[in-house]
Amino acid sequence: MSNRTTVTEFLLLGFSDNRELQILHFVVFLGIYLVALTGNLLVITVVAIDHHLHTPMYFFLMNLSILDIGSISVTVPKSMANSLLNTTSISYAGCVLQVFLFFFFASADFALLTVMAYDRYVAICKPLHYETVMNRGACVQMAASAWTSGILNSALHTGNTFAVSFCGGNMVDQFFCEIPKLLKLSCSDSYLSEVGVIAFNALLGLSLFALIIVSYVQIFTRVLRIPSELGRHKAFSTCLPHLIVVSLLLFTGTFAYLKPTSSSQSGLDLVVAVLYSVVPPMMNPIIYSMRNKEIKAALKKLTEWRLVTKNKMSIVLS
């Protein structure tokens, strides 16, 4: 306990010691963050305002956007601030909060992606039962279950991680407080319980992924029977991006958390961490929504409404 309490802060991995490269990192991450923030906020806004989008698929998309904003906001702003201020420190409490929130948003995100796969399966394979199965109450329960599972999973991981004694230094070899990097600083066997929990979560994640694959095999089998080429294109354009995002999130995350620490390579670890923590929140609104005709139509309607309102206000004021 005394060894653990002597750690009052952690030092995160900087992208470079060169000042110009630090500024470049800040600018690149700022651009990514603004794209993710803008895209996800637009999805939330149009789904909330346009009653035509008050369907299960868009309800889950709105929840996904909220989780994505939370996920990327936990890691990227702190890394940007450190580069701008030429520092690498994060307080002990800040690290605990970062681990809890990141794991919460990531766990809930994956659970919600699984729910979305089920939604697409019912919509395409059992269209006559869709409104009955995916009714308002069922959708709210599914979304609430995803959020609740994220909280429980995060609490378990955070509690296990920070129950260990840190006496291997305070340098976290990652740009945010990543659990495997924190466990490397442990000098007691108590970290093995967290390793076991991570392994169990990986198996659970792979099991959910297997269910998603089974769902999509049935979806694609059904889609190939659709006589309309337009119908097939619409189904594939909805499902394939979903499968790509789930695969990217699962396999990069599993690699980061399960690979042996002895084979650690900072450059590779950094790329993998960016792939599972930064890329999905930025790409989700693009591949799920901005390519969607209904979302585009809602955005166009919202833009036209704002322009009309602005013109009316200008006329009144003049």
With contact defined as beta carbons under 8 Å apart, do 72 and 282 qualify? yes
Question: Which of these ranges, 109-113, 187-191, 229-233, 260-264, has the smallest mean pLDDT?
Answer: 260-264
Residue range 138-145: mean pLDDT, rounded: 95
Confidence (pLDDT) at 144: 96
Q: Quick one: pLDDT at residue 5?
A: 47
Average pLDDT over residues 142-156: 93
Share of the chain above pLDDT 90, in %: 31
**pLDDT tens digits along 183-199:** 888 876 666 677 777 88
C-alpha distance from residue 194 to each of 73, 162, 256, 257, 277 (Å): 25, 10, 15, 11, 20
pLDDT digits (tens, 9 = 90+) for 57-102: 889 999 999 999 999 999 999 999 998 888 889 999 999 999 999 9
CA distance 44 to 157: 29
Distance CA 107, CA 287 (A): 20
* 181 closest CA partner among 291, 98, 57, 105: 98
Q: Which two tokens stand for residue 316?
A: 């009144």
pLDDT of residue 289: 66
**Third-level CATH fold of 2-306:** Rhopdopsin 7-helix transmembrane proteins (1.20.1070)
pLDDT at position 263, please? Answer: 53
Reading the block at residue 122, the tokens are 């019912």
- Average pLDDT on 128-142 reads 92
pLDDT at 96: 94
DSSP state of 290: I
Is pLDDT above 50 for 1?
no
Note the pLDDT of residue 2. 42
3-state secondary structure of 90: strand
Gap between the Cα atoms of 251 and 26, Å rounded: 27
pLDDT level of residue 33 (50, 70, 90 thresholds): very high
Give Cα separations from 306 to 45, 49, 250, 303, 310 (angstroms).
Answer: 13, 13, 40, 5, 6
Q: Select from 184, 152, 156, 188 the least CA-distant residue to 171.
A: 184
User: pTM, whole model, 2 decimals?
Assistant: 0.86
Going by pLDDT thresholds of 50, 70 and 90, the confidence category of residue 262 is low
Mean pLDDT of the region 292-301: 72
User: What is the domain partition of the chain in residue ranges?
Assistant: 2-306
User: Is residue 35's pLDDT more than 70?
Assistant: yes
**Planar angle of CA 237, 239, 245, nearest 5 degrees:** 105
Q: Give the distance between the most distant pair of CA atoms in the chain.
A: 74
